[in-house]
Amino acid sequence: MLDDFMTRATLAGIGVAFAAAPLGSFVVWRRMAYFGDATAHAAILGIALSLALNLSIFPGAIAVALIMALTVSALSGRGYAMDTLLGVLAHSALAFGLVAVSFLSGIRIDLMAYLFGDILAVSRGDLAVIWGGAALVVGLIAWRWSALLTSTLNDELAYASGIDPKREQLVLTLSLAITVAVAIKVVGVLLIAAMLIIPAAAARPLSRTPEGMALIAALIGSASAVVGLRGAYVLDTPAGPSIVCVAALCFVATSLIRAFKPGNQAG
């Protein structure tokens, strides 16, 4: 069954959706959209380092994404506005990564595949890494779910409950780095943040509990992967962007549902 490239691509898309759904919910709740984008952009530098050292792209991407996330956490609140800090670091890392890639003259690189994904070229080995990373992220989030929710609500409440908000931030940072690394092959560096944010945002109007939002986000992300891949196959469009387009349409649909709910109408 895994000999079929569409089957592998579909399983890869679903794996990324399951990793991104619970993490994306926290990204939405904590307003960390730019944080996720900066971490994803930094991954290009990690890819360049991995290729230069003749390694798999995953260790380099995870390492640099984690360093970026930890750097942002360490520098925040030290005289720089968060959006300014994230903008400087994200675009600097992307620029240095692209320059570093240009020096790898002895290696054939499909830069577009790293920027926008190449899900149709996912191998069995890639599939194992994607699902292994997804399982690790889901396990981390599930293990710290209650503590993460408490620290998301209020730092003082977390301290009163014996929870260290900085430790929970580190869990999210590690999960984000892993998700970025495994999603590169599927949607690419420039669209990873979209798969984190859009399914979670689309799930918000349909859910009444945090757990429900994470579950619905996973279903929306998975459906977006399946429908987007099918649409890309039929219409001959890029697979990664097609998946994100379907997720965006889901967001529009759920936003309209919320807008036309009886309780939300004037009168």
Residues 3-20: tens digit of each pLDDT: 577 888 889 889 999 988
Residue 218's pLDDT is what?
Answer: 92
User: Letter for the amino acid at 90?
Assistant: A
- Quickly tell me which residue has 């895994």 as its tokens: 2
Point out the least confidently predicted range of 10-19, 107-116, 121-130: 107-116
Classify 99 as helix, strand or coil. Answer: helix
Residues 211-240: tens digit of each pLDDT: 999 999 999 999 999 999 999 989 988 888
Residue 159's pLDDT is what?
Answer: 87
What whole-number distance in Å separates Cα of residue 250 and Cα of residue 217? 10
5-259 to CATH, choices 1.20.200.10, 1.10.3470.10, 1.10.630.10, 3.40.50.620? 1.10.3470.10
Classify 43 as helix, strand or coil. Answer: helix
Q: How many CB atoms lie within 10 A of CB 265?
A: 8
Mean pLDDT in residue range 83-87 = 75
Q: Domain-by-domain residue ranges, the chain? A: 5-259
What whole-number distance in Å separates Cα of residue 227 and Cα of residue 92? 35
Among 22-36, 112-126, 170-184, 190-204, the range of highest mean pLDDT: 190-204
Complete DSSP assignment for 158-219? HHHTT--HHHHHHHHHHHHHHHHHHHHHHH-GGGHHHHHHHHHHHHGGG-SSHHHHHHHHHH
Residue 266's pLDDT is what?
Answer: 44
Residues 57-82: tens digit of each pLDDT: 788 888 887 887 777 777 766 666 66
Contacts of 230 (CB under 8 A, 6+ apart): none
- Quickly tell me which residue has 């529009």 as its tokens: 252
Residue 262 has pLDDT above 70, yes or no: no
Q: How many CB atoms lie within 10 A of CB 185?
A: 26
Q: How confident is the model at residue 267 (pLDDT cuts 50, 70, 90)?
A: very low
User: Letter for the amino acid at 124?
Assistant: R
Q: How confident is the model at residue 265 (pLDDT cuts 50, 70, 90)?
A: low
> Which H or E element spans position 255?
helix 239-259
Contacts of 131 (CB under 8 A, 6+ apart): 11, 15
Mean pLDDT in residue range 47-55 = 79
